Amino acid sequence: MTATTFTPRVFSGIQPTNHLQLGNYLGAVKRFVEMQNNGIETVYCIVDLHAITTWQDPADLRHATRELAAGYIASGLDPERSILFNQSQVPGHAQLAWIFNCVARVGWMNRMTQFKDKAGKNAENASLGLYAYPSLMAADILLYKATQVPVGEDQKQHLELTRDIAAKFNHDFKVDFFPMTEPVIEGTATRVMSLRDGSKKMSKSDPSDASRINLTDDADTIAQKFRKARTDAEPLPGTIDGLKDRPEARNLINIYAALAEQPPEAVVAEFAGKGFGAFKPALADLAVARLSPIADEMARLMADPAEIDRILGNGAERANAIAQPILNDIYDIVGMIRSRPV
Ligand code: AMP
Ligand code: TRP
């Protein structure tokens, strides 16, 4: 049998919870835009069904969904060239997730580190949805037979599970239906670390606001957060090797490199021998120059929520046009009768 070739298609998603932070921007959104600009078909989702695996106030969820849409667009995502939508408007995501709940094994879910981290000590009291989260994520990707998924480092395990689900489905039903999706974890910012603790990733949900740069922070706040960022007392080294045991310094260099679109080697060469007293203000200026146009554009877009909703609705229509025929094939493969008049 010759292997099926799958049309290249990119899919990725972000949860509409809290504000977008610099790690989301550099590790995900910025790269989504680069892939769009490379001419490949790109489908980008606001995963509101994933968001409710932990409690969300309904009004806050609506606001965060629109704000994330604004963040995507302000960062350069073009809703004509890419497909941009919120997950719940395409019912196939939840439908395929159910089928995948019956393909994935309990043992696989028990190994997911994100569940362990998010459920914490009180796993008995976590929602069933939080446990099944990776199965919905596999459905997001495979509903479009996506071949590439740009994400940050923390999502690697979920993408391996997606491949396991695809392989088991293909095997159980003796088909070559789903592609083996490739994670795309590239660049200098696949794991942006907290500004307060170089061993923790920067996160929307960290209780300390000083630990992260939010895309909505103003110039003064950005400068102040970098000024207060934890570092050691040494001057910057002349080579990347010199950053090995200096996680905080390495993180700031990587952030600079990603924002400047330069290799970290070039940044180290530029600042070799200088102290943080010189480097931090340069980093803050660069971050403000890159991020403040995005914040301004987000604010402009947020002034017209009806327009954002219209964009999401159109995107959902286009996403559904790809998804529905694939879902029909899946139902046929699984043995579901589809005889409802259309
Ligand atoms: P989340 O905010 O968890 O929905 O993450 C959305 C996307 O941003 C995923 O692709 C994550 O891997 C990525 N991401 C989140 N935090 C970071 C970080 N600190 N560094 C790099 N990528 C990140
Ligand atoms: N789990 C991802 C996160 O927390 C979000 C996500 C949901 C996703 N579905 C996806 C990412 C599909 C890539 C592809 O960041």
- Hey, what CATH topology would domain 9-185+304-334 get? Rossmann fold (3.40.50)
Distance CA 37, CA 82 (A): 9
Distance of CA 254 to the CA centre of its chain: 18
Write 209-212 long-range contacts (CB < 8 A, 24+).
212/21, 212/22, 212/23
Report the b/e string of 101-129 with b at 16+ CB within 10 A.
bebbeeebbeebeebeebbeeeeeebeee
Q: Is 139 exposed, middle or buried (0-12, 13-18, 19+ CB in 10 A)?
A: buried
Cα separation, 104 vs 82, in Å, equals: 30
CA distance 162 to 141: 8
Closest CA to 96 of 52, 153, 138, 68: 138
Q: Where are the alpha helices (DSSP H) in the chain?
A: 22-24, 30-37, 48-51, 58-74, 92-101, 106-110, 113-119, 128-142, 156-172, 219-228, 247-260, 264-271, 276-302, 305-334
CA dihedral of residues 131, 132, 136, 137 (deg, nearest 10): 40
Nearest to 202 by CA among 217, 210, 212: 212
Q: Is 118 one of the annotated active-site residues of the chain?
A: yes
Position 99 scores a pLDDT of 98
Instruction: Give the per-residue pLDDT at 316.
Output: 98
Instruction: List every span in the chain annotated with CATH 1.10.240.10.
Output: 209-300
For the CA of 11, the closest atom of ligand 2 is 14
What pLDDT sits at residue 121? Answer: 87
Query: Is the CB of residue 77 below 6 angstroms from any atom belonging to ligand 2?
Result: no
Res 1: pLDDT: 55
Residue 22: partners with Cβ closer than 8 Å, 6 or more residues away: 192, 202, 212, 213, 214, 215, 255, 287, 291
Q: What is the CATH number of domain 209-300?
A: 1.10.240.10
Domain with CATH 3.40.50.620 in the chain: 9-185+304-334
Q: Which two tokens stand for residue 320?
A: 């559904």
Distance of CA 161 to the CA centre of its chain: 16
Structure tokens at 269: 């060469």
Distance in angstroms (rounded) separating the CA atoms of residues 328 and 342: 13
Ligand 2 in contact with 140 (CB < 6 A)?
yes
Residue identifier of the C-alpha nearest atom 14 of ligand 2: 12
Active-site entry in 118, 156, 168, 200 = 118
* Interval between CA 340 and ligand 1 midpoint (Å): 41
Instruction: Measure 66 CA to ligand 1 centroid, in angstroms.
Output: 18
Give catalytic status of residue 201 as yes or no: yes
Residues with Cβ within 8 Å of residue 145, at least 6 apart in sequence: 6, 7, 9, 178, 179, 326
Consecutive 10-residue runs of the chain (342 residues): their mean pLDDT? 85 94 95 96 98 97 98 98 98 98 97 92 94 98 98 95 98 98 93 96 93 95 96 94 95 97 96 96 97 96 98 98 98 97 84
| DSSP 8-class letter at 153 | G
Ligand of minimum distance to the alpha carbon of 25: 1
